[in-house]
Amino acid sequence: MCAMGAARVRNVLTRIVTAAACLAIVAFATAADARTPPITQTSIGGAKLGLSASAYKRLLGKPNFKLPLNDPAGKPTGWSRLVFLNVTVYFPPRKTRGAVVTTWARSYKTAAGMGPCSTLTDLRLAYGNRLKPSKFNTQHGVVFAYTLGKNLIFASNNKSYVEAVGLYNGSDPNVGKPGGSLSWAGYITLSERACHRD
């Protein structure tokens, strides 16, 4: 009886220790996910640049729709986009890898708490001189988009609050040239659906 009782105790203790270890792993993974903000210099909502359409679908689920991107006159640009619940991924002409990722989701924030629907005043206070006017999106001294770091752009057609945030390839050798990654990211992010504060 004593040997059987000891075996049962060991069995119960093994189960308790195993369950505790599993809970600790889940808690650690959850805490790690909670620490990673939805908007970073490398991803928006977990979506990084350079993935295929099928990889974005595995990551973000079924897209709501796929659309071409037109210019302001309504002519096709050759770019296409996959629109998901909180994120849109843009593909350049004849390319199969995502080149711009945008969000308008109010709940998506950077580590400093900035994102769509943040006021431009708060954005400037949070980032100071790290926030730079996008040269392609500044007209007659009026700034419509700001870059942060190498890969993020904050767009505001209303000049009051951020309407959308975009992720682009700031390492593109043509980043500062017309037709480079920044000029397209500015156009795309300013054309994105807007976060509404009301």
Q: List beta partners, residue 47.
A: 44
124: number of Cβ within 10 Å: 13
Q: What are phi and psi for residue 114, nearest 5 degrees?
A: -105, 145
The model carries a pTM of: 0.81
d(CA 116, CA 37): 13
Q: How far is CA 150 from the centre of its chain?
A: 14
Can you give the length of the chain in residues?
Answer: 198
Q: Which of 99, 91, 103 is nearest to 66 (CA)?
A: 91
Give the domain ranges of the chain. Answer: 1-35, 53-191
Q: How high is the pLDDT of residue 14?
A: 60
d(CA 19, CA 194): 45
Q: Read out DSSP for 49-72?
A: TT-BHHHHHHHH-S-SEEEEEE-T
d(CA 92, CA 77): 9
The amino acid that residue 110 corresponds to is T
- Specify the CATH class of 53-191 in words: mainly beta
Q: How high is the pLDDT of residue 93?
A: 95
The end-to-end CA distance of the chain, in Å, is: 71
Q: Which of 145, 149, 148, 157 is nearest to 183 (CA)?
A: 145
d(CA 191, CA 66): 16
pLDDT in tens, the chain (198 residues): 555 566 665 665 566 655 555 444 444 444 444 566 899 999 999 999 999 999 999 999 999 888 889 988 889 999 999 999 999 999 999 999 999 999 999 999 999 999 999 999 999 999 999 999 999 999 999 999 999 999 999 999 999 999 999 999 999 999 999 999 999 999 999 999 999 887
Q: How high is the pLDDT of residue 42?
A: 98
